[in-house]
Chains A and B, each alone.
Chain A
Amino acid sequence: MKRLLLTIFAVLSVLSMYAQNRTVSGKVTDEFGEPLAGATVVSGKSYAVTDLDGLYSISAPDGASATVSFLGYDDFSFTVSASKQDIQLVPSEATMLNEAVAIGYGKTTKKEITGSVVSLKSDDFDKGSFTSAAGMLQGKVAGLTVTNPDGGDPNASFELLLRGTGTLVAGQGPLIIIDGVADADMRSINYQEVESIDVLKDGSAAAIYGTRGSNGVIIITTKRARTGQSSVEYEGQVSVQTVASRAMPLNASQFKSVIEQYSPGNVTSLYGSDTDWFNEVTRTPISHKHSIAVSGGSDKFSHRTVLNTEQNEGLLKKNDVHKYLIKTNIHQEALEGWLSLDYNLNYTHRNYSGANYEIFRQAFEHNPTEPVYDRTNGVAGGYFTVQNTMSYYNPVAMLNERENETDVDNIGATVRATLNILPITGLKWDNFVSWQTERYEAREYSTRYYPSLIGKDGKAYISNSTSSNLQWESTLQYSRVFGHHSLQAIAGYTYQQNASQDSQLENTGFDSDLYKTNNIGSGSALKEGMAYMSSYKESSRYIAFFGRVMYNWKERYLASVSLRADGSSRFGANNKWALFPAVSLGWRMSEEEWLKDVQWLDELKLRAGYGVTGNQDFANYKSLLLMEPKGHYYHNGQWGSSYAPKSNANPDLRWERKSEINAGVDFSFLHSRLSGTIDYYYRHTTDLLYSYKVPVPPYDYEDFFTNVGSIINTGVEFTLNAVPVKLGRFSWNTTVTASHNKNILEKLTNEEFTGGKYKMGHIGDPINEYTQRMIEGQSLGTFYGPRWKNIYSDGTDDFYDSIAGTVDEEYWSNLGSAYPDVNLGWSNTLRYGNLSLSATLRAAIGGKVYNTYRACYENISRIGLRNIIDTWLDDTSFTGKPQHSSKYLEDATYLKLDNVSISYDFTFKSQYLKGGRVFLSGQNLLCITGYKGVDPEVSLGGLSPGIESTSYYPRTRSITFGVNLNF
């Protein structure tokens, strides 16, 4: 093989000697005649880059062809014949409009799209370190809120919320499709491998996904096999993190003086040490990631293989995540153009020691005058321990005396076989089969010194689960242009089967801590009947038939109609199938004769669509009456087992149904210097699922899960892309996204179903109150409570409408909603030649956040055993018992500098190293807010949004240095 290569190389070298080389030079300019720096000129193996003045010089054989290319401009080719060749490039206005956009079961172009779809390419993403690809979407898509409620946890998942909360208890997250695989986990891919992300926002676009489209659809395409020379890419990065902000408890000296001055009864709680519990359990984490990708091949056969490893440290000690990933994509053409095959194989292994968030709470409230260790305390393993306390544990002992390790393996294989039915132009039959499986094993061992388990002699816990997802999609696609008529049609069937099973083992009472989880049967609790064992299995099936026709005339009048019939095993027997229609229309005014001559106008398109989607993201078996073993009865002189219902049958149970109207404008001016999109939507979700209290009889069980309520979300989204400055080698690209959403819970009950849980937002000890109410006609996440007036002279809170220091719930006021009025994102890239600087800012305006730290800890009555928050020192006049009120509700407005990156792209003329990039990136650098808590950006999902948690894993600020090399 090697010899063959050498021979070919030799022959090529000889051949090249026969052609006469000529040196061509010239100037490359843009459409205005300004020089273009950094344009590449390629001819054969020769290669040149224009300098600051747009000048180039290249040596190439006479008669050879050369190509000039520059990002954003059409390629220009010429034949080498003269020694001087000036070139004026034409901006590829069409590139943007011709960009492929994934729309689910197919692709279209940006100009032909009629729904609300946002398409992001790898260039649009921030550089840096992310726990999942979702992090790269933060602030990039108008209407999509991406929040990481788990702070700096290296294992964190992001919470995605598109166009407001449209459900009560069903899933809120968009449908994630990665390389065709539905319901995929974004953590099972390497975010650096993402080539593009398409977000289907409105109902008409998502309706092709039927009962899974209500929360929007995110289609992720990873880098695919590529034809051409073999290339090897290396990416490496290292990052270091520090705490961005955290709630500060009193330090030891403050604690001592506060107790002595304000709470002298508690001087027995002064132990004389000076411990910073937060520092005891945290560290400065350093993480690194490496990946190598090899790709190449011919038109008939190409591949791309990636090896990736990530070693991530968490802020919390012992909290580590290791990730290994192998992925291969192979593309093959066979049977003389009849058959295209695309294989994907991926294996991801994650090994992690998860974080116990409770440690952060314990570290916060732990008495700073306690020492960490007490060598004389043998019972507690040498940790300092205060006796007879409830839920108060030495955080260092919690950290050291428990080990947990989880292994997760994701294995996936997909094949896409496309049969091109050549006799009929544009007809193909596409089959996609995917098999994904996940194996999970968690092992946790708490030693005999784990604080809450002293006396149990160690506790071992093993949990196993496996899940699988089989998918088959078969579509018949037809696409053809007849003169001015362009038609794209698809009809398909999809089948998906999910199954999962798990088992848990737990035992205590071990002779030695050395066994850990490796001899779980030896614990004495098993013999005493106190060990625990369980297993569970479930499966579900999902089937759909769908079709879509997209038509346009002269790319001027556009229309798309789709229909999907969805069936799910989760639905009740009377409602197994659902129909989801959608229609959308577009009018590209800029293609009209009367606008065609307007030079500055590239694109002006009006769009309108209506689509129905559903949500079936709820647990299996909800429509069935299930029986569980409950108690025993005496029968024929013996005790036998008895069963009782644990749920009611609901044969009418069905999907939540969302109908959405979307209207939008896409525009582009001045050769794409300014472009953007405005969308308005009205989404009405009906048949909301909720659990209601029902009378028994006629029901068999007191809770009934059924479709009753409705929610309306209306909003406006705005995206503007601009190139405000483009001077020579310098350019500034900027993108602004803005969105506003209004949420209304239209209906929650009806005549039949009235009883349920409508109080939300529970705050624990010492507040012990539900702070939010679900009320028809108002937004979800609306806080209710007494309006705080001031601090009364006796040190207690005074409220409006209060009687004897409290306000009856009947007189509570609406204190505002947790949802922000406006979300803003602002991304900027400044380029000078190969150097680029990017900055991303994100802001939320309005909305309330519950300052739980203040509510629970800004309170002198709590000091003693436990610590309080240092902000109490700002106003020491409050000495009463804390009660829920507007006092603890604050404005959640913030502005964050999410990311600043500086990168330099370099190219080499070397045969081996073609180019690369180095970058330095800072994430979560700055937060400007009036909020007095830790971070106003809290979880907005679920039915209790806007509440800051006190078991909070702090967000971190991170600095990442990265290198990419292309061989």
Chain B
Amino acid sequence: MKRLGIFILAAGLTLSCTNLDEITYSSISKDVFFSNENLLSIYSARAYTTLQAWGGEQSIWTMNLQLSNEVVVTQNSVGEWAQDRYKQLQTHRILENNELIERSWEYCFNGIAACNDILYEIEHRGSDFDGKDKVLAEMHLIRAFYYFLAIDCWGDVPFTISKEDKGYPKMKSRAEVFAFIEQEILTYRNALSDDNSQMYYGRVTQGMANTLLAKLYLNAKEWTGTEKWAEAEAACKLVMDSSKYSLCGNYKDNFSVHNEGSPEAIFSIPYSTVYTESDHNSFVLFVLTLDGYLAPTYGINKSPWDGFIGQPDFLASYDPADTRKPSTWLYGQQYDKSGQPLHVVVKDPKTEVITDEFDYIIDETMAGYTYGSGRRTSVQGARLGKWEYQTDGLLESDQTSMENDFHVFRYADVILMYVEALVRQNKADVAAAVPEFKQLRTRAGLAPMSAGDLTLDNLYLERCHELALEGWARQDLIRFGKYLDPWWGKPAGQEYMKLLPLPSAKMANNPNLKPQNPGY
């Protein structure tokens, strides 16, 4: 009987040991993040960190630079940067498997996925905390920003906003997504903070929402066929009337190493040499454009890659008095660390015999060089110098980020959009009288524009020079009807090229991702 008892006891013990939950030790499961507000804010940080891929080598920003008439990537003096992917972008003859198109796609859709996930988790975990509505609204706006970039590039895009959607995302038309973005902004902008102090720096605020709305409306005609100039004007006005923003006294302060205090910053991606250190989240312009001769000037210990240069015709388009040209580009005589004119002496590493010697004077006209004719020299092509290069010696590797933050939305852009919206409604006289517009011109060393000067062509050039390299040139070229024109190193384009191809690798994974944009 006693034995039977033991047997029953053991059998009971046996049946109780059926728990098969996995216990993790060295990785964190999602559930951990929803226990307190601090962890929750770490969880939602992902929506913001995905934005940091903006400044990488193969990013949506560099793709837009190369698709525009501002920048060209051509074979350098040692034969690098000759890959077909850059040539495709420069000539607008793009293949579906272009890496930069794929990275740009991932930028948008990884961001959307992160926002969808964070929104879903916050809403379904039932967690409640101070400022929850604000965090939710921020996520809605970041997602809207990603969809805005996506319809800008590809037109119709796969669409999903809920983690509860079954199956793979299906295509939605550009107009439908446009309407969605508009609705999201209108619904959530009032839940956002209107504070633009240091506390909200780098985060989504009402100013960001209205600027995004203005950009959306400004492109409405191109994207949906319906003009929304008045709405664009109104959205800009909301930003201007908030009195939160003003133009910097000095244009360059927007791009300095510590540009976080700029009163023009509406929506910024903060970068840090220490904290945004890996290849997927750093701002590495220095390595893309500078070369080994110029690096010591800035105390850069790593030999940069000598790739991105300014297109000669773009450089030539500036008014000689425009101070924004030297603020944006490095050209002419360059200087060494001590401020002396840079003189390069090239020696054979073994024999120490001098093989070449020249003054480092950059020829921004690239005289004698045509695109595709092989290697350019070390001194051909203006270098991108809009963001001040730090000289603290911390830029030591390819992946180290510059300390400068990237102001994606800047107050000057809002002013110019406001002016454009007015001009397009034939209110050039009102536009010419906008005080900030006048200030913007004088800041650049130029006379304010009269109503008569305010043609669309002149306004386009003004945008080019004020916002050069900030990532909006392709959109502007399309909106002003100039994207298909031939320019330096690019033949005339065809209508279909205004949209980019859907990446073939992504089409292979999602059967709903079709049809390919026409022409590809």
Contact = CB atoms under 8 A, between A and B. Distances in A.
B392 interface: no
Interface string B1-39: 001000100100011011111111111111011000000
Contact of B29 (A429, A627, A697): A627
A493 interface: yes
B27 A541 contact: no
B49 A627 contact: no
Interface in B361-384: none
Interface string B97-130: 0000000001001101110110000000000000
B47 to A, nearest CB: 9
A402 B14 CA distance: 51
Given A474-B10, A621-B24, A696-B109, A633 B49 contact: yes
Contacts of B278: 631
Interface in B420-467: none
Given A621-B22, A627-B29, A634 B270 contact: yes
B170 to A, nearest CB: 11
A644 B113 contact: no
Contact of B513 (A431, A570, A625, A695): A695
A63 to B, nearest CB: 46
A85 to B, nearest CB: 51
B180 interface: no
A694 B106 CA distance: 12
Interface residues of A, number: 61
A634 B204 CA distance: 12
A482 interface: no
Contacts of A700: 113-114, 117
A259 B278 CA distance: 45
Contacts of B508: 693, 754-755
A699 interface: yes
Contacts of B46: 630, 642-644
B49 A630 contact: yes
Nearest to B349: A388
Given A543-B17, A632-B272, A694-B509, A569 B27 contact: no
A641 B203 CA distance: 15
B22 A620 contact: yes
Interface string A632-659: 1111110111111110010000000000
A710 B29 CA distance: 31
Contacts of A419: 3
Interface residues of B, number: 64
Contacts of B505: 693, 755
Contact of A696 (B23, B24, B110, B276): B110
Contacts of B276: 631-632
A636 B109 contact: no
Contacts of B24: 538, 621, 624, 626
Given A495-B17, A626-B28, A635-B203, A695 B41 contact: no
B112 A569 contact: no
Nearest to A626: B27
A698 B165 contact: yes
B491 interface: no
A698 B163 contact: yes
Given A631-B278, A640-B45, A699 B201 contact: no
Contacts of B18: 543, 567
B113 A642 contact: no
Contact of B199 (A636, A641, A645): A636
A623 B106 CA distance: 24
A641 to B, nearest CB: 6
Contact of B275 (A539, A632, A697, A751): A632
A538 B25 CA distance: 6
A421 B4 CA distance: 10
A819 interface: no
Given A627-B27, A635-B203, A642-B49, A697 B113 contact: yes
Contacts of A696: 106, 109-110, 113
B310 interface: no
A569 to B, nearest CB: 5
Nearest to A628: B27
Contact of B30 (A576, A625, A634): A625
B45 A643 contact: yes
Interface string A678-711: 0000000000000011111111101000000000
A695 B509 contact: yes
B42 A539 contact: no
Contact of B169 (A541, A567, A643, A697): A697
B281 interface: yes
Contacts of A543: 17-18, 20
B471 interface: no
A464 to B, nearest CB: 15
B323 interface: no
Given A569-B22, A696-B110, A624 B29 contact: yes
A132 interface: no
Contact of A569 (B10, B20, B163, B506): B20
B271 to A, nearest CB: 9
Contacts of B511: 751, 754
A594 interface: no
B202 A634 contact: yes
B387 interface: no
Interface string B38-70: 000111011011001000000000000000000
Contact of A539 (B23, B203, B272, B280): B23
A754 B504 CA distance: 13
A108 interface: no
A18 interface: no
A535 interface: yes
A300 interface: no
B26 A625 contact: no
Contacts of A635: 41, 45, 48, 202-203
A199 B72 CA distance: 67
Given A543-B17, A631-B281, A632-B276, A642 B27 contact: no
A720 B163 CA distance: 61
A569 B21 contact: yes
A700 B109 CA distance: 10
B510 interface: yes
A371 B274 CA distance: 47
A545 to B, nearest CB: 9
B160 interface: yes
B509 to A, nearest CB: 4
Contacts of A751: 511
A215 interface: no
B109 A697 contact: yes
B198 interface: yes
B202 to A, nearest CB: 4
A176 to B, nearest CB: 23
Interface in A568-598: 568-571, 576
Nearest to B510: A695
Contacts of B109: 695-697
A538 B26 contact: yes
B296 interface: no
A32 interface: no
B3 A634 contact: no
Given A626-B28, A642-B49, A570 B110 contact: no
A540 B203 CA distance: 41
A536 interface: yes
Interface of B: 3, 7, 10, 14-15, 17-30, 32-33, 41-43, 45-46, 48-49, 52, 106, 109-110, 112-114, 116-117, 158, 160, 163, 165, 167-169, 198-199, 201-203, 270, 272, 274-276, 278, 280-281, 505-506, 508-511, 513
6 contacts: A537-B26, A624-B22, A643-B33, A698-B169, A699-B113, A752-B168
Given A543-B17, A626-B29, 8 more contacts: A419-B3, A539-B23, A625-B29, A640-B41, A640-B45, A697-B109, A698-B168, A699-B113
Q: Enumerate the 5 nearest inter-chain pairs by beta-carbon distance, A residue then B residue, closest first.
A: A697-B113, A537-B25, A642-B45, A632-B275, A755-B509
